[in-house]
Amino acid sequence: MHEILYENRFLLFLLSIILLLIAFPFADQAAQGETVLRPAFTLVIFSGIHAMQRNRGILVLAMIIGIPAILARWIVSDIASISSELYTLLFSMLFFSLLCLFLLSAVLGTGRITRDTIFGAIGIYLTLGITWALSYQFVDTLIPGALQNVHSETAYLYFSFVTLTTLGYGDITPLIPVTESMAMFEAVIGQLYIAVLIARLVSSLSR
């Protein structure tokens, strides 16, 4: 059973990411938004840690960052202060960034493309969007007004994926050099990832 779960670790992670994305808009509509986001967020962290379990060094680092991230979501975020929100966002950002790096290494570094590898590649793209959304929220909390027309946590996610896919609707705009640079780098990374992924898949299929 454990081996089956590990062989499908990227599928499990992808499903948890999709659940988190679904939870965001519901959290905005709910009176207690965090009660919707917390379980989904925790599930993503556990599924991410599960995917890293056979890389001891990365696993230890993931637990050092992931456990405070969970505690921040469940405990610290109830404290109504900017510092507690920044603390929560910081550990979330760090964990998702580590997760992106690990998944990139695991998926692009594998010698054999499997169904679970494809799930992992999709999971990386979605994780990139969430990581950047957390980064935008962190900067906008630290420097109020860094983004224009942002009125909810879901708006950061929306702006991130619009930027990642280079749709650029223009309804939310960065107002300071930091967020402008972040949006630029996210758009470039989004396009590069797709190009590199396709090249990697074509190369593996050719072999």
Q: Which helix (H) or strand (E) holds 94?
A: helix 82-108
Residue 31 has pLDDT above 60, yes or no: no
Residue 5 has pLDDT above 80, yes or no: no
Q: What is the reported pLDDT for 200?
A: 72
Contact between 159 and 146 under an 8 Å Cβ cutoff? The reply is no
144 CA to centre of own chain: 22
**Would you kindly state where each structural domain of the chain is located, as residue ranges?**
2-206
Considering the segment(s) 2-206 as one domain, its CATH architecture is Orthogonal Bundle (1.10)
Q: What is the reported pLDDT for 158?
A: 93
Closest CA to 121 of 96, 104, 99, 146: 104
Residue 48 amino acid letter: G
Q: What is the reported pLDDT for 159?
A: 93
Residue 35 has pLDDT above 90, yes or no: no
Residue 206 has pLDDT above 70, yes or no: no
Residue 207 amino acid letter: R
For 61-81, the pLDDT digits (tens) are 888 998 988 888 888 766 767
For 86-122, the pLDDT digits (tens) are 888 999 999 999 998 888 888 777 667 778 888 888 8
DSSP of 115-161, one letter per residue? HHHHHHHHHHHHHHHHHHHHHHHHHHHHSTTSEES--SHHHHHHHHH
How far is Cα 17 from Cα 115, in angstroms, rounded to an integer?
A: 17
Mean pLDDT confidence for 156-178: 90
Q: Which two tokens stand for residue 196?
A: 């590199």
